[in-house]
Amino acid sequence: MTVELFADFPASAEFENPDATYERMVVNEMERMQIREEARRRIAAESSTVSELPALSNLADRLAAPRTRPRWRIQDMWPAGGRINLVGAPKAGKTTMTTNVVRGLVDGGQFLGKYTTEAVPDCEGPAVVVFDFEMTEDMLLDWYEDAGIANTYKVETVLLNGLGSGFDFTNPAVRAELVKRYGGAHTYILDPVGPLLASLGLDENSNSDVQRLLTAWDEFVRELGGQESMVTMHAGHNGERARGASAFLGSCSAVWTLMREGEEPGAPRFLKTMGRIEGMPKTRLAAQGRTLTILGHLTPESIADDKGQQILDHLSAVGTWQGRGPIRNAVGGSQVTVTQALRELVDSGQVLHDSKKGYGLPHWSP
């Protein structure tokens, strides 16, 4: 048998020019991307609902027509027919706020002890449906039982922890099945959106992914027959805005942001709102059990029975001006909590601040 020392081997990637290999990989990836884009286009075309789009409507006629729907679902906070994005820092009370919202939607009354709430009208299905992607059944039942909801029969909950991949309402075929199963309610709540994004392989830091999901959610709610919705999400960026893409802050009627200052038990919690509403500045909340109420924005009431009151008691006892350090040593608490309490006391006129002397009571000033 004769063996040739330099046989002609067939061409293979192992012996291919590196530049040619790179170019071939780029072309293959381009083809895959083009195929995916074409698939999305065809699916969108198949699910098109142009026939369901509204006709032209004259503005003069619309302005002259009677308005039967209330302007607000929750006065100054939730416009009727709108979507709310609720952003919550860790342990700031996102779940508690959600249960308070549900109670207001089905029972009416004063939301947060201040804002008049128009209970959602009766409809063919439940008044409110909550799609929960985070809680176990026992946890969810405990929270809602403590919320003190009177009309519990108007609320339906769907536990989807670990089941997000089957809840892909961005897929027209899946969405049609979900509409059959869950349609007929007035208001839908998605709580929270993060686990669903992960289950669907979407990136919460991608504006295009997030906007795609939120747009699909609005279409989904409309197909369900819903009139209003709320989407909750976890906060990032120091707890004062939604974690991930900035798209979380757009395309909604209002953004409610829950904040917590400090890690210790009883740390103060705050709420602020912004969007297509007048907006509410950072405002202190109080919690009695699972019920949240407004304490007020920079008023004496906002600091009663907490760190601010301790500071007032301490200054009264020592009878002299004090720096921030000695005050914190006396009353305890984090630097953030003490600083915030001092700021509120100064802004409300209960404590004076002198750059040389420190902090003192008004009657000490000549």
**How big is the CA angle at 118 (ends 247 and 64), to the nearest 5 degrees?**
85
DSSP character at residue 170: T
pLDDT, position 277: 84
> In angstroms, what CA-CA distances link 158 with 50, 93, 135, 228, 229?
31, 21, 10, 17, 15
Backbone angles phi, psi at 330, to 5 degrees: -80, -40
Residue in this structure with the two tokens 């939604």, named with its chain if needed: 242
- Contact indicator for 232, 88 with CB cutoff of 8 Å: yes
Annotate 6-56 with DSSP letters as a single string: T--PPP-GGGS-HHHHHHHHHHHHHHHHHHHHHHHHHHHHHT--GGGSPPP
The values of phi and psi at residue 120, to 5°, are -65, 145
pLDDT of residue 298: 40
3-state secondary structure 262-275: CCCCCCCEEEEEEE
Radius of gyration of the chain (CA): 28
d(CA 251, CA 231): 12
In whole angstroms, give the CA distance from residue 235 to residue 327.
31
Distance CA 284, CA 104 (A): 20
Q: Label residue 356 left, alpha or beta by phi (over 0 means left) and psi (-120 to 50 means alpha).
A: alpha
Q: What is the pLDDT along the chain (366 residues), one digit of tens a residue?
A: 444 444 454 555 455 688 888 888 899 889 988 888 888 777 766 655 555 677 888 889 888 888 777 789 999 999 999 999 999 988 888 999 999 999 999 999 999 999 999 999 888 789 999 999 999 999 999 999 999 999 999 999 999 999 999 999 999 999 999 999 999 999 999 999 999 999 999 998 888 899 999 999 999 999 999 999 999 998 865 556 666 677 788 779 999 999 888 777 678 888 999 988 888 888 888 888 888 988 754 444 444 446 788 888 888 888 889 998 898 888 887 777 788 888 888 877 888 888 888 898 877 765
Torsion angle, CA of 198/201/204/210, rounded to 10 degrees? -120
Strand partners, 275: 254
Token digits for 355? 């750059």
pLDDT of residue 264: 72
DSSP 333-360: S-HHHHHHHHHHHHHTTSSEEETTTEEE
